[in-house]
Amino acid sequence: MSEREGEAVVPERIGKYVIRRLLGQGGMGRVYHAYDPLIGRDVAIKVMLPEMAQNPDLKERFIREAQAAGHLRHPNIVTIHDLGEEAGVPYIVMEYLEGEDLDDLIRRRAPLSVLEKLDIIRQVCDALGYAHARGIVHRDIKPANIRLLEGRVPKVMDFGIAKVGTTHLTQTGLTVGTPHYMAPEQIRGERDRIDGRTDIFALGAVLYELLFYRRPFEGDHPLTVFYKILSPEPADIPDVPALPYNPDIRSVLARALAKDPEERYPSAYDMEQDLVALIRRLGEWHDQTTQPVASAVAAETGGMISGVETAVVPGPTSTPSEVSIVLEPAGRTPGRQAWLRWVLLLGSLLGLGLGTGIVYQVLREPAVVPARESTPQATESAKTTPATTSPVPASPSVDAHPTPVVLPPAADPTPPAQAAGETPEPLGTLDLNVLPWAEVLSIRRVSDGWSPPLPKPSYTPLRMPEVRTGVYEVQVRHPRLDRPVTFRVAVEAGKIQKFTYDLQGVVLPEVP
């Protein structure tokens, strides 16, 4: 039995899933609210329209959506549970999300503060950075593809036209995307230039629209919109002097919406870092601002920016994440116990320093060791044994200062022995992985500062074949860490050195 809801026939079942209701319909397919009786959970099922499934290219694009998003596990990306086909029509089973699309929120001009709006985009930045690090570019970021759950937690949806690695899910010469959010290189069909920065441009347009309730590039016809985007003139960003940190907000928008990809943020993580810094300062501004001052800001921004700047601003949303790194430990209540802890700490440091001095003085005295004749074999062994013989990587450490470690300048990429006509240096392979992920800033050999070539940006997991042997100092960063992390790893000749470092185990120094 089937029932009708409008013009769409709602089936009773699709595969093992019991259909409850029709959620919506688009040009490619329908989305149903369904129930998985075996696991006992609600799901959403996206079913391709039968007439569309007759087109092999469109069917492949539909299936590739599940393949693209199916490998992603991030709290701000919709989770794909299953991919199936019934009567020649494919369907995707994903998590059921209760909430509203960002597009609906913008249309009804929801009463959100600037702080809340920036935090929504910050979370989307984290999701896109995660996808980009795995070679997936969304290519259709827009408000309708971002769903807000309870607590203002966004979920990125619809990877139907994603670019997976070097594979495009569209035909040659076909321009895809939503006109108001497409980057110039996307409009021109420059497939080789489409990368994560294309999504950053679209996200900048979403942030603009969320802040000012109008799009950065308006027009009555898609060609008019394309003309404005392709024009060398930058986007017209409103100047609202009463808005706190107005120049910084304008700077973030200008960089994200740069027409030249080289002038945009190099990665979504970099954009997230700027938003995190801005959110912190805005949070302090809200804490220090009185009601009349906040109301004056709301009055000057008028109909463009949400007037509810006087709303209570919640702290950072507590969402499940693949990384749980403490940035700022909770403040301790001052009192007797805190004072005693400091006294005990200072006393321990003084005792440690005194003990170290005594040991040093004792060890300085030359020890009387009976002379022992060394054999030729032992002498030769001593000459050929390097200073660092342990292949075990040194313990990871967190820099005490935000500035990166300054290593010796990189040597000439040509091995010295090879340049002199001698035997080339032995080579090995480095398999580097940082959990859950990180951007690799530098990899330099400790002995001479030589660096293997690195693509920019570089994300883990990273495989580097034909690396010279030796101990390397690796520096990585993650947007939730306010300073880089440095650790060492050894590469041996003819071997594959697999090194995994879990960022979740890093303990940052307490912020004073």
Give the per-residue pLDDT at 12: 92
Residues in the chain, total: 512
Mean pLDDT of 298-324: 35
Q: Is the pLDDT of residue 215 over 60?
A: yes
CATH 3.40.50.970 corresponds to the domain 100-301: no
pLDDT greater than 70 at residue 388: no
- Residue 498 pLDDT > 60, yes or no? yes
Residue 261 banded pLDDT, cuts 50, 70, 90 = very high
Residue carrying the six token digits 């070679």? 135
Please, which residues have CB within 8 angstroms of residue 442's CB and are 6 or more apart in sequence? 404, 407, 451, 454, 473, 474, 475
Residue type, 319: T
pLDDT of the residue at 341? 60
β-pairing, 470-477 vs 439-445, is antiparallel
**Active site (catalytic) residues:** 140
Tens of pLDDT, residue by residue over 157-184, are: 887 555 554 444 444 334 456 899 999 9
Q: Is 13 helix (H, G, I), strand (E, B) or coil?
A: strand
Return the CATH architecture of domain 3-95: 2-Layer Sandwich (3.30)
Say which residue the tokens 């007797």 belong to.
336
Alpha-carbon span 465 to 277, nearest angstrom: 37
Gap between the Cα atoms of 217 and 231, Å rounded: 11
CB 34 within 8 A of CB 42: yes
Residue 239: what pLDDT? 86
pLDDT at 369: 38
Residue 319 pLDDT > 70, yes or no? no
pLDDT of residue 286: 57
* One-letter amino acid of 74: H
The answer to whether residue 345 scores a pLDDT higher than 90 is no
- Reported pTM: 0.58
| pLDDT of residue 73 exceeding 60 | yes
**Three-class SS of residue 33?**
strand
d(CA 425, CA 433): 25
pLDDT of residue 17: 95
Report the pLDDT value the prediction gives residue 183, as an integer from 0 to 100. Answer: 95
Does the pLDDT value for residue 354 go beyond 90?
no
Mean pLDDT (whole number) for 309-319: 31
Cross-strand pairs, 155: 147
Q: What percent of the chain has pLDDT over 90?
A: 34
* Pair 282, 113: CB distance under 8 Å: no
Among 269, 138, 163, 253, smallest CA distance to 206 is for: 253
Taking 70 as the threshold, does the pLDDT of residue 294 lie above it?
Answer: no
pLDDT, position 362: 52
Q: How, if at all, do strands 496-502 and 427-435 pair?
A: parallel
pLDDT of residue 199: 96
Structure tokens at 276: 């995190």
Q: Which of 37, 32, 35, 41 is nearest to 10 (CA)?
A: 32
Flag whether pLDDT at 343 surpasses 90: no
Amino acid 93: pLDDT: 94
pLDDT at 128 over 60: yes
DSSP string, 59-103: HHHHHHHHHHHHT---TTBPPEEEEEEETTEEEEEEE---SEEHH
| Domain-wise residue ranges, the chain | 3-95, 100-301, 389-505
64: exposed, middle or buried (C-beta count within 10 Å: 0-12, 13-18, 19+)?
Answer: buried
Q: What mean pLDDT do residues 332-348 have?
A: 57
Residue pLDDT, tens place only, 398-420: 333 333 333 344 444 444 445 45
CA distance 138 to 156: 9
Q: In terms of C-beta density within 10 A (0-12 exposed, 13-18 middle, 19 or more buried), how is residue 37 classed?
A: exposed
Confidence of residue 295 (pLDDT cuts 50, 70, 90): very low
- What is the three-class DSSP state of 243? coil
Check: CB of residue 442 under 8 Å from CB of residue 475.
yes
Calculate the CA 413 to chain-centre distance. 31
Q: How far apart are the first and last CA of the chain?
A: 67
Most confident of 355-359, 433-437, 493-497: 493-497
pLDDT category, 155, cuts 50, 70, 90?
very high
Confidence check: pLDDT of 118 > 90: yes
Residue 117 has pLDDT above 90, yes or no: yes
Tell me, letter by letter, the H, E, C secondary structure of 137-197.
Answer: ECCCCCHHHEEEECCCEEEECCCCCCEECCEECCCCCCCCCCHHHCCHHHHCCCHHHCCHH
Above 90 in pLDDT, residue 229? yes
Query: What fold characterizes domain 389-505?
Result: Immunoglobulin-like (2.60.40)
Structure confidence at residue 368 (pLDDT): 39
Q: Give CA–CA dist 158/139, Å, rounded.
A: 10
Return the higher-pLDDT residue of 307 and 116: 116
pLDDT band at 273 (very low <50, low <70, confident <90, very high): very high
More confident residue, 64 or 153: 153
What average pLDDT does this structure show over 228-247? 86
Question: Is 176:65 a contact under the CB 8 Å cutoff?
Answer: no
Sign of CA dihedral 459, 464, 467, 471: positive
Band (pLDDT 50/70/90 cuts) for residue 453 is confident
Which has more confidence, 485 or 141? Answer: 141
Residue 328 has pLDDT above 80, yes or no: no
pLDDT confidence tier of residue 103, bands split at 50, 70 and 90: very high
Confidence tier at 477 by pLDDT (50, 70, 90): confident
Between vectors from CA 485 to CA 484 and to CA 486, what angle results, nearest 5°?
Answer: 120
pLDDT value at residue 272:
95
In which band, very low, low, confident or very high, does the pLDDT at 504 lie, cut at 50, 70 and 90? low
Structure tokens at 85: 């086909």
pLDDT at 188 > cutoff 80: yes
Question: What residues contact 339, with CB distance under 8 A and at least 6 apart?
Answer: none
pLDDT of 318 > 70? The answer is: no
Query: 77 near 149, Cβ under 8 Å?
Result: no
pLDDT at 43 over 60: yes
- Whole-angstrom Cα Rg for the chain: 29
Residue for token pair 């937690």: 153
364 confidence band (pLDDT: 50, 70, 90) = low
pLDDT averaged over every residue in the chain: 74
Apex CA 321: angle with CA 393 and CA 40, to 5°? 125
Confidence band, pLDDT 50/70/90 cuts, at residue 7? low
Q: How confident is the model at residue 303 (pLDDT cuts 50, 70, 90)?
A: very low
pLDDT surpassing 70 at residue 422: no
Residue 35 pLDDT greater than 80, yes or no: yes
